[in-house]
Amino acid sequence: MAVWSIVNFSQIPFDWRLDAEYFKPEYLKLDNLLSNANVELWGNLKGKFITGPFGSAFAVENYVEHSPYRYVRGKDVKPFFLLEQDNAYIPKSAFQGLKKYSLFPEDLLVSVVGTLGNVAIVNEDIGQAIYSCKSTVYRSKSIDPYYLCTYLNSNIGQAYLQRKSRGAIQAGLNLDDLYTIPIYIPEFEQQKEIRKLVITSWEKLKISKTLYAEAEDLLLHELGLNKLDLSTQKSYVANFSETVESNRLDAEYYNPKYTVLINYLHNIPHSKLGYLASFSNGATPSGAKYLDKGKGIPFIRIQNVTKNRLDLDDVVYIDKKIHNGILKRSQLQPGDVLITITGRIGTAAVIPDSLLFANMNQHSVRLRIHNAQINPYYLSVFLNSKAGLLQTDREAYGATRDALPYYCLEKIIIPIASLDLQKQVEVKVREAEKTLQEAKTLLERAKHQVEQIILGG
């Protein structure tokens, strides 16, 4: 169905946006909504915009494993808060050279390249960190930053951020685009209410993170794995017979840390993963189009699989006919465990009880447990622990990009703990999931409250 908008020449903005998308009816309706409201253009507020460093200022190959200096990438900027998994760190020398791009509590980070319009607030525990060229910082002086973050993440704020994007090949948001976004300014007390909701949400997120960590610590402690020295050795020797037996010539495969772990696991009750679960992987249907939110079957991609949980905030949907047809073999059900086999290899999560129907693409493998000795939550936590990730890291290989094939995944050693311990781990994970959902509910409440203030104002 055709959608029409007719605008007068006088309505053309001063930055001469002539692209038809800019004048979609829903955008014009928002303009009309805010025309008589207490609104200021973002660029007119008291505050400071700071663009990120040039992309050439730091090379990703200079990341380091152990450092107090965080490098916030574009993909780390999520709605409301920074992603706290798979963080990147840089050496002190690189941080000192880019220190003017340091982040401070209550800074807002806006993603301006790639995934556009995500807005995250920097919290007090950020430590020493800088950000990349894919984000712009806003340092507020006149409006509560927690309110502003919520407004920009609301349907109204997101509509304006998407509207202001431009670019034929790669869309982006420049400073002029951000300057001209209208910001609704409510009463100070209303801003404080929104601030309280967002801060409470953040506190619950921290509790959830702690519970996930407690689940892993409990598992490692009870199995004695926390006592092992699994540090990387700089020099070591492997026999030629070992290379013949394993059919691997890459030196890292023979690092003593792997031998220490494998020998220990062999001396406690254990089983190989291939004996505990059946495997199946998915595919991305050729030519298939994703459906609008909620109008099909959730289709799990690698970015949805995070440590011990699924992140469905940006999940896409496929047609039910595809789910029951060419992708029937990769249908998911509650209690299945997904593990990534490319990219962030070895990340695992359980399909929750609330996700009755779902499917997945080719970058993950479905583990369907058929052994009563193994609890899926216990399996997920173990796979995400250092003892699990060391094994998947070791077994992955590839000429241009590492991957974890079935026959390597089958060899992963899983310790068989008591069912009581496994249940304790599950309880921790479920409590973490519950707390996380409470945090998300608070953020949705904050966004809804902002929209109601505007609509009712």
Annotate 40-55 with three-state secondary structure. EEHHHCCEEEEECCCH
- Residue 10, pLDDT score: 57
Q: Which of 169-173, 304-308, 421-425 has the lowest mean pLDDT?
A: 169-173
Give mean pLDDT, residues 64-78.
92
Q: How confident is the model at residue 254 (pLDDT cuts 50, 70, 90)?
A: confident
**Tokens 């690189």 correspond to what residue?**
94
Q: Which of 63, 65, 29, 21 is nearest to 73 (CA)?
A: 63
- Residue 99, pLDDT score: 93
Checking if the pLDDT of 414 tops 70, the result is yes
Checking if the pLDDT of 420 tops 80, the result is yes
Checking if the pLDDT of 22 tops 90, the result is no
- Residue 48, pLDDT score: 96
Checking if the pLDDT of 426 tops 50, the result is yes
Give mean pLDDT, residues 282-290.
83
Higher pLDDT: 412 or 231? It is 412
Q: What dotted CATH number matches 209-424? A: 3.90.220.20
Give mean pLDDT, residues 270-294.
89
Higher pLDDT: 288 or 62? It is 62
Q: Which of 368, 359, 381, 360 is nearest to 428 (CA)?
A: 381
Q: What is the pLDDT of residues 287-334, one digit of tens each?
A: 778 888 888 999 999 999 999 999 998 899 999 999 999 999 999 999
For residue 181 the two structure tokens come to 């976004």
What is the value of pTM for the model shown? 0.86
Checking if the pLDDT of 198 tops 90, the result is yes
Give mean pLDDT, residues 269-283.
95
Checking if the pLDDT of 13 tops 60, the result is no
Q: How confident is the model at residue 218 (pLDDT cuts 50, 70, 90)?
A: very high
Give mean pLDDT, residues 135-142.
96
Give mean pLDDT, residues 340-350.
95
What residues does each domain of the chain span? 9-185, 209-424
Q: How confident is the model at residue 12 (pLDDT cuts 50, 70, 90)?
A: low
Q: Which of 26-40, 265-279, 375-389 has the lowest mean pLDDT?
A: 26-40
Hey, CA dihedral for 438, 439, 440, 444, is it positive or negative?
A: positive
Q: What is the pLDDT of residues 95-118, one digit of tens each?
A: 999 999 999 999 999 999 988 999
Query: What does pLDDT average to over the chain?
Result: 91
- Residue 31, pLDDT score: 86
Q: How confident is the model at residue 55 (pLDDT cuts 50, 70, 90)?
A: confident
Higher pLDDT: 168 or 88? It is 88
- Tell me whether domains 9-185 and 209-424 share a fold: yes
Checking if the pLDDT of 202 tops 90, the result is yes
Checking if the pLDDT of 366 tops 60, the result is yes
- Considering the four listed CATH numbers 3.30.200.20, 3.90.220.20, 2.30.40.10, 3.90.1150.10, the one that applies to the domain covering 9-185 is 3.90.220.20
Checking if the pLDDT of 399 tops 90, the result is no
How much of the chain exceeds pLDDT 70, in percent?
94
